[in-house]
Structure 1
Amino acid sequence: MPPVKGGAIENLIDVFVKQNELSKEHSITVFGIYSREAEEASKKYRHCTFKYIKLDKFSVGFRYIINRISPLKIGNAYIHKVKKELETIGEYDVIIVENRAEYAIPLFKVAKGKLILHLHNDILNIETKNATKILSCYEKVFTVSNYIKSRVLTITDKDKDKDKVVTLYNGIDSNKFDKNNYTSIYESERTKYSISKEDTVILYTGRVIASKGVKELIEAFIQLKEYTNVKLLIVGSANFGESVTDAFLLSIKEIAQKAKENIIFTGYIDYDKLPILYSIADISVIPSIGIEAAGQTVLEASSTGNAIITSDSGGIPELIGSNGIIISRDENFVDNLSTHLRTLIDDKELREYLGRNAKINARNFDDKIYFDDFCKLIDKKSKE
């Protein structure tokens, strides 16, 4: 942090921190792993202190081995150092743990009961090791969708525990993704990727991994053999913050050879430049076949005003409602995805209608609303 290497959670934290820069409502300390780029980027913030944890490979490796082979558990090297730092801070109102639910156990004593979990993924449920103990450590759990909330509540049927779990939908800087901001570079940006003005552009953004449904999207696109003026733009990499090649990426690039003239892989693109890529697209596809807690890409595409096709994964339907096309993840997923792509390619009026509605819907997830809702929940907790 700041999110110099991308990451949906990191960027969401940054949304909150940047809004606080404007409101000056809170004094914030953010703990994170040290990187030179992050430390440099942190200098522009005035109302947030960034404390960096430096980890040496020996310490991390030693702790990992001991925790794996010995009944003596010595804990996570990162959180061990965070605990020491917390003891030097003095008074604070709340500690917010971002997504690492298990940190509650080592943090509980030093936090003096002032713990909130901000949960972004389906990693705290009845199947989680020490689930009941972890949940008991938190005063509140903010979940990014009702779907994730329902998963947490599989742990308990006690009313007091149910009351502590609250849905807090993600927020986004909708102005940053407004397509109108990038009209002056529309043509040049398309030219960079050998896309003409007449081409219809289908966009995927995110990590290029199996659970995101990228392979299924390529297979659906290959079925569109009758179209010569349609391009598929795949933006992302297998890893955060860098373009890397792994076995899965190599395998889908091999499949993509069947339509190699019309499928473009960009590799990793810095988050600040993503709105430009959204702006040159006509259709955004979020084809997740794994579980999406609340895909931030849905809000990005909605804020841009692109027509959206997505799956029924996790919390995605909560974000898009009836303002896009939602496909069931069944045995016909690829064929149905191809069919709906054809529909939107052929029907420009429908594309624009869905895009307008999605953009209107995105206002409900504006970063200012997100910040205000987050603050109200924190304030409510502190008063309790």
Structure 2
Amino acid sequence: MENELRFEKAEFSTRLLVVKKEMEKRGIDVLLLSEPSNANYLTGYDAYSFYVPQMVLVALNHDEPVWVGRGMDGVSARMTTYLSQANIRPFPDAYVQSALSPYDFVAEVVKEVAGPKVKIGVEMGGYYYSARAHADLVNALPDATFFDADLLVNWIRLIKSPAEVALMRDAGKIADAMMHRAIDIVEPGVRECDIAAVVYHQMMAGTPDFGGNYTCSPIYLCVGEKALAPHAAWSDKPLPAKTIINLELFGNRHRYQVNLARTICVGTPTQSYQNLADVVVEALNAGLEAVAPGKTAEEVHAAFAKTLAKHGHEKEARLGYSLGLGYPPAVGEKTVSLRKGDQTVLEPGMCFHMMSGLWLENDGITITQPFVVTERGHEPLTQIPRKLFIK
């Protein structure tokens, strides 16, 4: 069976060592990971199977992580991870969407690997760790002590390795291709859904050198009045002779995702709207120029906000967020935000989406930039011009 491991085994070993050191620091014997991105990060596991319970167990006394998931998905575990067969523990299909709890099965694996009286860390804020899941685990492991270890792995993932950054660059090239394709097709009379269709085609086709993958969320194609909303859905209406399109899309390469947004104006924009676009680009560039190792996330935000305020505008929402490895429903790592009050110090290898979009009372505009922090400043992960596109 061909293995689809995306990184060298040594890189996975380094990741696991760092996670175990953090577990020791917190007094955690066993870490149960429900987030697909964290499971992927430590094992390479990749399959669209997270709609049913699955977990990766990391125990201090066990060399490898242990994957626990649906029986039929054990094949994917063998294909995409470095784990030995003994550490791939599929549960019978009788546990799937039935009165039986898969977490009883997980509990038995925990007891076998680490014993019943252990200190267990779980991802209390995880998208795929429900209240029922926690209750079932607590009931099945009465002698264990549970701790909230939410974001333990997320913070470790924050600094990407060179191999991870390479995948982010690839994802950025896919995002560029998607945006160029969207801009090319936009013209009066084209249906919104047809714009979405070509964007999705390019998302999967990628570039001539490599293909893409499904993303962590649908694209946001916000047309006309919907341009005032950041996360609106497209329709099947044809574009009028004059309108605004805010498009946020995502390039994804082996689950590493880059977010990108641009505004496309159909017809000649008003002078006031063009002025707004110029202000957003100026503030965006000021924020990017402030990026450097040793600077805080708050300082980057301040550079953007100062320039924006000079022109009488304010962005209430955060300026950006860390991104990288992800699965639905969102790519954000839930760690660093480019905003006032975030004192996280930037380091090389951190990746962000500088989401400089503005949603004002009468106007919405999105001209953004994903980037990676470098030794000297930043490297853009996409190359499409930072400007208002006019068709």
Q: TM-score range with shorter-chain normalisation?
A: 0.3 to 0.5
Superposition TM-score, scaled by structure 2 size = 0.38
Structure holding more helix per residue: 1
Superposition TM-score, scaled by structure 1 size = 0.38
